[in-house]
Structure 1
Amino acid sequence: MNRILSLFLAAALLAAAPLSARDARADARPPGAAIASAHALATEAGFETLEAGGNAFDAAVTVSAVLSVVEPISSGLGGGGFFLLHDARSGRDVFVDARETAPAAATSERYLAADGSFDRDRAINGPWSAGIPGLPAGLVHVAQTYGRLPLSVSLAPAIRIAREGFPVYERMARGYEMRREVMERYPGTREVFLAGGAPPRVGDLFRQPDLARTLELLAQHGHDGFYRGEVARKLVEGVNAEGGQWTLEELASYTVKEREPVRFRYRGWEIVTAPPPSSGGIALAQMLQILQGWELDRLDEVQRTHLVVESMRRAYRDRTFHLGDPDFVKVPQRLLTSPDYAAGLRATIHPARATPSELLSGEATPLEDEDTTHFSIIDAQGNRAAVTQTVNLLYGSGLVAPGTGVLLNNEMDDFALRPGIPNAFGVMGYDANAPAPGKRMLSSMTPTFMVSPERVAVLGTPGGSRIITMVLLGILGYDAGLDAQAVAALPRYHHQWMPDRIQAEAGAFDPDVAQGLRDLGHTLQLPGDEAEGGRGSSHVWGNLQTVEWRLSDNSLGAGSDPRNPVGSGATRPVGAAAGGRRD
């Protein structure tokens, strides 16, 4: 039986089976658990929670909270995140949206200087750059709805590490130096980051007693421990003392949203991924369904890369104009994820020539920052969690509300604060992503599941607008037969429609491939190359964390991005008696 017919029959069988049956064949169970995260302390804490009788969702709360302590450069209680969860017992997938929301006072006019020009400093630094945090509500919701353990147990490792401290690592110290001028504007931030009289240095023990207290209140009182009472009062006072305008009422009214994931097929896989206000799932559906028209494994590297880039170009063009918070704008999701729409886009691709982006009508596409974090979990019951969380730029807004230890995000810059005006990364957005009270800003975070008769994979990464293309390349890597660690290490390249150039990591293309792409009409921006008018492509991108369950031999694998020396991916034979949601 040829490959195409085999894949067709497998897809037909999967389509006919209920989700609980086709996902790991219902009665199958992994031989233990797998966790991959951006910091070894978070990975170890996740296993600690599993060993205490928790399931993947409890472990997700633990890992998320510990990353909020040990990665202030990337995420925290002052930010937000997306939790993609699969409950093995019911077969249900759910997307928990804990994205930040716009304060009522943060209208577009607030980001204009006296002369009417756009005030970039206000958009990315300090109180006006911060949205209402969503991550604490996400932790409470996941624990209480899907977990087995009380928050006092799942948050205990984060509380302990915040109080006792952890060693400062190189990326954390380097990031502080890059944001030092902003961080040291605010007394609450100085109390935390200059507590020892000097900025954090590699190897220093970094303690956060106020953050430990905030986590304790969250563990004791749930949602009200953060969004009402002592912490809420200090957050509002801290923001407003610096000239912002938050209210206790909008903090108290913050709620997470449960949404239906984006779901589609690529070859023999079912892909389950992030819906709006993430742009990632729709873009993945477009790109992969475009690429399904070719047997990529039969093409040479130049031709394969050309087609992947052309799919990226088209998906990112649609991202710009159509995507935003679905509670505020009508997102044409059914059209954009349709195989027929993808076929129409595929027909516009010249197999031997780059399509100039200017021929695809429109302006430039919005971009997000690179300082986010992701982790992936599979437990011994087959439950799984893909979680991406962020505070946006390095150390978010730079503002810690005094007495809370909470470093606030600067996600307001992810809105199109002024249509046609570039954000911090030199790119633009439009009306669908304009701010409004309580609205969630567009995101690229793309936590994703892959399910086939032979394998289940969980993956995601930070990387700003490059998140989506890194997840795309990870999916293509799994489809090509790579294991989890090889997928985490894949070289990366990216095209986002505007500016019209391929960006790539160091070593992503050998010289012959790079020249072959140029011969097809592509412009390349390689590391250190400023000739195209950009910042130059970074030498390395992202921090992909992925785990897999190989059903063929009932084994687990974990892959942690080798670009990040403090990350950790591991598998262990723990938790075989745990799982399911609380009774």
Structure 2
Amino acid sequence: MAMIRTRFASNLLPGLLLGLLLVVAPSCARDVRPASTPTPQLSAQTPPGNAVASAHALATEAGLQVMREGGNAFDAAIATSAVLSVVEPISSGLGGGGFFLLHDARTGRDVFIDARETAPASASSDNYLSADGGFDRDRAENGPWSAGIPGLPAAFVHIADTYGQLPLAQSLAPAIRIAEHGFPVYARFARGYQSRRAVMERYPGTRAVFLANGRAPEEGDLFRQPDLARTLRLLAEHGFDGFYRGDVADRLVAGVAAEGGRWQPEDLAGYRVVEREPIRLRYHGWDVVTAPPPSSGGIAIAQMLQILEPWDLPALEDAARTHLVVESMRRAFRDRTFYLGDPDFVQVPQRLLTSRDYAAGLRATINPAKATPSDLLSGDPTPLEDEETTHFSIVDAAGNRAAVTQTVNLLFGSGLVAPGTGVLLNNEMDDFALQPGVPNAFGVMGFDANAPRPGKRPLSSMTPTFLVSDDRVAVLGTPGGSRIITMVLLGILGYDAGLDAQAVAALPRYHHQWMPDTISAESDAFSPQTAAQLRALGHVVDLPGETAAGGRGSSHVWGNLQTVLWNRADGTLSGGSDPRNPVGEAKVEPAVDTGPAP
């Protein structure tokens, strides 16, 4: 068994062109392969085993375990996701949602499973007004009004019924066992709880779970969740009805009501996952398959890659390359602000925004020798996503693959556990533009396309992605808020430059999101010389320990990228787990012959 385990001891022309491009570009839809077209078939060669890269070793092991038992990558995705829902309440859980990008090797079909949370029937911007008519930030981020209807349990049921080879109960068994018997609290869990403690301890249901030992969780404690184990069992036994109807649903509705919120049984019973066609494009010999709306990531990735395609980026000096990449980020994030939302509620100009002609027009507005001030790219300010999210990547021995990103939004979501369920509810309502032009928790703004409506899904940055070339297949994704999109971009560029999976997971990171007009970066992303050259070009560079005008100051590190690479040229399978996360694991092992599938 091969195993990889990683640890980390000037003028107005741009604005005018953007306006013109929206008028002239519609004919460009031909440049993006129709969404229903399968990824080109690979040769008969299959991977030499199974691989899982996730943010926690227990989740990685769960995915591999169900494949040893005869499951495929899709069963493994359920198992991995469910265990992450148990061991990473800081990042995701049954009370949240996610996106599952799946590839069926037998048919060559890619499908995007949208299990994003939805707004309850009570959703209205008026719910977030304070007594004086201002915006109630606390209500938007904490407690019952911040929570959307969860989607992750419905995804498990749908994937098991439609794509899996094992019964749902078998794929959920590792998560049930770990919830019941417990797991050791790790440092990020303990730190995260302390940072959200004041909110978490408002609610009796949360106190019953997280203060079960009479004190806050500490690193090394065994953390048990018997109520969550019971909820998982009901889901395993009764499928959709085990969570969205009956006892669990009643407890969820009652738990929200007890804290002053308004969910109805119909909000839960009416939840449905949605199968969507992924976004596809070509970049330097790669077929890129990525997330469609309500993710904003895929459209942004398509725009940025097609803007950058004519340049030989690896051949450029660091400052020149970074300048061009940042300018592509700036333009994609500007469009994200105004045009993207839930496609079931708003008309998203996807064909236009992902067309090569539109990208060429954006490219023409870039000055290679000078930064474009963001306020010259016509517009008013943008929406965002959470920083506490999780991602995993899977490839099985048949060539099936899964890229999955899931979340509860902020650290520990809303902080509210519905009593008797063990389910920590998300605070995804803050991902809507709850008040036009009012920043969300991450200092970004949105407008009508992302306004809350009953049943609507908030805009997301989660961007699970496949890369397919003649000799390599990669699966990747990451948490990181709006930075998810730019981290995935840098990962794609890393693979295109020939890096291996672990090197891609470890790449230094930088980010620009149009507003604020700032490059944020990790501490090792730029040399002092490169940072000085970028500033000379007119960029504001926000480095750890500094606070740029309008910025929050960069984090030392960010993200938690998990990736798997199948190199068809040499017949190897490898994984990369972000070295910034000491409990993550990428693991590869030979497939076990379990006989005919059940």
TM-score, normalising length from structure 2?
0.93
Query: Which residue is equivalent to 2:8?
Result: none
- Residue 24, structure 1, aligned to residue 42, structure 2: yes
Paired with 1:537 and 1:576, the residues of 2 have a C-alpha distance of: 48
Structure-1 separation of matches of 2:521 and 2:86: 31
Aligned partner of 1:67 among 72, 77, 84: 84
Quick one: distance in 1 between partners of 2:126 and 2:212?
37
Tell me the equivalent position of 2:224. 207
- 1:62 and 1:36 map into 2 onto residues whose CA distance is 13
Instruction: Indicate whether 1:527 and 2:544 are aligned.
Output: yes
Work out the CA distance in 2 between the residues paired with 1:531 and 1:513: 17
1:151 and 1:537 map into 2 onto residues whose CA distance is 42
1:241 equivalent to 2:258? Answer: yes
- Please list, as runs of the form range in 1=range in 2, the aligned pairs for 1:322-337 lying within 5 A after superposition: 322-337=339-354
What is residue 81 of structure 1 aligned with on the other side? Answer: 98
CA distance in 1, matches of 2:375, 2:37: 42
Report how far residue 531 of structure 1 moved.
4.1
Report if aligned partners of 1:24, 1:551 keep a CA contact under 8 Å in 2: no
Residues in 2 aligned to 1:127 and 1:462: alpha-carbon distance in whole angstroms:
24
Q: Indicate the residue corresponding to 1:7 in structure 2.
A: none
Displacement of 1:240 = 0.5
Which whole-Å CA distance do the structure 2 matches of 1:554 and 1:44 have between them?
A: 23
Following superposition, the deviation at residue 299 of structure 1 comes to 1.1
Name the SS of the counterpart of 2:86 in structure 1: helix
Tell me, in whole angstroms, the C-alpha distance in 2 between the residues paired with 1:393 and 1:507: 26
Kindly tell me: are residues 512 and 194 of structure 1, through their superposed partners in 2, closer, same or farther at Cα, counting changes over 3 Å? same
8 A Cα contact 2:185 2:220, kept in partner? yes
SS in 1 for 2:281: strand
CA RMSD of aligned residues (A): 1.5
Aligned twin of 1:3: none
Could you give the per-residue CA deviations for residues 62-82 of structure 1, whole angstroms, max 9, x where no partner exists? 000000000000000000000
What residue is the counterpart of 1:168 in the other structure?
A: 185
Paired residue type of 2:364: A
Is 1:135 equivalent to 2:163 in the alignment? Answer: no
1:161-184 deviation line (CA, Å, top 9, x unaligned): 000000000000000000000000
Q: Would the aligned equivalents of 2:99 and 2:404 in 1 still touch at CA under 8 Å?
A: yes
Q: Which residues of 2 match residues 129-278 of structure 1 at below 5 A?
A: 129-278=146-295
Looking at structure 2, the residues matched to 280 and 577 of structure 1 have their Cα atoms a distance apart, in angstroms, of: 38
Q: Is 1:306 matched with 2:323?
A: yes
SS of the residue 2:166 aligns to: coil
The counterpart of 1:553, out of the listed 552, 570, 585, is 570
1:22 maps to amino acid:
P
Pairwise CA distance, 1:296? 1.0
| Structure 1 residue 209 displacement after superposition | 0.1
Contact 2:516–2:550 under 8 Å retained in 1:
no
Aligned CA distance change for structure 1 residues 520 and 135 (closer, same or farther; 3 Å):
same
Residues of 1 paired with 2:374 and 2:491: CA distance? 25
AA at the equivalent of 1:506: S
Whether contact under 8 Å (2:38, 2:110) holds in the other structure is: no
SS at match of 2:583: coil
| Cα offset, 1:532, TM superposition | 1.9
Q: Measure the CA separation in 1 of the matches of 2:497 and 2:312.
A: 11
Matched, 1:507 2:539: no
Give the corresponding residue for 2:409: 392
Residues 440-499 of structure 1 deviation map (CA, whole Å, 9 limit, x = unaligned): 000000000000001000000000000000000000000000000000000000000000
In structure 2, relative to structure 1, the CA distance for the partners of 1:337 and 1:578 (3 Å cut) is farther
Give the deviation of 1:369 after TM superposition. 1.8
SS where residue 557 of structure 1 aligns?
Answer: strand
Partners of 1:149 and 1:419 in 2: CA distance: 46
Correspondence for 1:353: 370
Q: 2:437 aligns with which of 420, 440, 450?
A: 420
**C-alpha separation between the residues in 1 aligned to 2:566 and 2:65?**
21
The answer on whether the counterparts of 2:183 and 2:223 sit within 8 Å (CA) in structure 1 is yes
Match of 1:279 in 2: 296
- Answer yes or no: is 1:57 the counterpart of 2:97: no
Matched residue SS, 1:153: helix
C-alpha offsets along residues 83-110 of structure 1, whole Å, 9 cap, x if unaligned?
0000000000000000000011120000
The counterpart of 2:496, out of the listed 451, 455, 479, is 479
Q: Could you say which residue in structure 1 is the equivalent of 2:119?
A: 102
Deviation for aligned residue 1:19 = 6.8
Matched with 1:119 is 136
- Deviation of the 1:414 alpha carbon: 0.2
Any idea what SS the aligned residue of 1:386 has? strand
Contact 2:39–2:110, Cα closer than 8 Å, also in 1: no
Q: Find 1:294's aligned residue among 304, 308, 311.
A: 311
> Which residue number in structure 1 is paired with residue 556 of structure 2?
539
Give, in whole Å, the separation in 1 of the partners of 2:595 and 2:352.
Answer: 41
Between the aligned partners of 2:388 and 2:172, the Cα distance in structure 1 is 23
The one-letter code sitting in structure 2 at the alignment partner of 1:75 is S
Instruction: Among all aligned residue pairs of Structure 1 and Structure 2, give the percentage whose two residues are the same amino acid.
Output: 75
Counterpart of 1:488, as a letter, is: A
Structure 1 residue 28: Cα displacement: 1.3
> Aligned partner of 1:113: which letter?
S
Give CA-to-partner distance per residue, 1:136-177, whole Å, 9 cap, x none.
001111111000000110000000000000000000000000
Aligned to 2:7: none
Kindly tell me: are residues 21 and 348 of structure 1, through their superposed partners in 2, closer, same or farther at Cα, counting changes over 3 Å? closer
Deviation at 1:20, TM superposition (A): 6.5
Structure 2 residue aligned with 1:570: 587
Bigger mean CA offset, 359-368 vs 344-353:
359-368
1:45 alignment partner AA: A
The Cα of 1:422 is off from its aligned counterpart by 0.7
Question: Relative to 1, partners in 2 of residues 1:250 and 1:558: Cα closer, same or farther, differing over 3 Å?
Answer: same
- The residue number in structure 1 matching 2:426 is 409
Q: Secondary structure at the match of 2:363?
A: helix
Paired residue for 1:38, among 55, 58, 61?
55
Q: Answer with 530-539 or 334-343: which moved more.
A: 530-539
Q: Amino acid of the residue matched to residue 290 of structure 1?
A: I
In the TM superposition, what is the alpha-carbon distance from 1:576 to its structure 2 partner?
5.6
Q: Deviations over 1:213-248 (max 9, x none)?
A: 000000001000000001000000000010000000
Cα displacement (A) at 1:554: 1.1
8 Å CA contact retained: 2:490, 2:509 = yes
Structure 1 residue 362, shift from structure 2 partner? 1.1
Residue aligned with 1:22, SS: coil
Contact 2:256 2:262 in 1 (8 A): yes
Query: Runs of 5+ in structure 1 lacking a partner?
Result: 1-13
- Counterpart in 2 of 1:6? none
SS in 2 for 1:422: coil
Q: Which amino acid aligns with 2:498?
A: G
Secondary structure of 2:256's aligned partner: helix
1:561 and 1:485 map into 2 onto residues whose CA distance is 8
Summarize the Cα distance change of 1:533–1:359 in structure 2 as closer, same or farther, 3 Å threshold: closer
Contact 1:488–1:559 (CA under 8 A) maintained in structure 2: yes
> Equivalents in 1 of 2:105, 2:75: separation in Å?
14
- 1:16-44, Cα deviation, whole Å (9 max, x unpaired): 9x97783432x111010111000000001
- More displaced stretch, 528-537 vs 557-566: 528-537
Rounded Cα–Cα distance in structure 2 between residues aligned with 1:365 and 1:435: 15
Question: Is this contact kept in 2: 1:24–1:456, CA < 8 A?
Answer: no
Residue 578 and residue 527 in structure 1: after superposition, are their counterparts in 2 closer, same or farther (change >3 A)?
farther
> Aligned with 2:271: secondary structure?
coil
| 2:566 partner SS | strand
CA distance in 1, matches of 2:261, 2:288: 41
> Hey, what's the Cα distance between the residues in 2 that align with 1:420 and 1:227?
34
Partner of 1:4: none
Give the Cα separation in 1 of the matches to 2:380 and 2:249. Answer: 40
> 1:402, CA displacement in angstroms?
0.1
Alignment counterpart, residue 316 of structure 1, candidates 333, 336, 339: 333
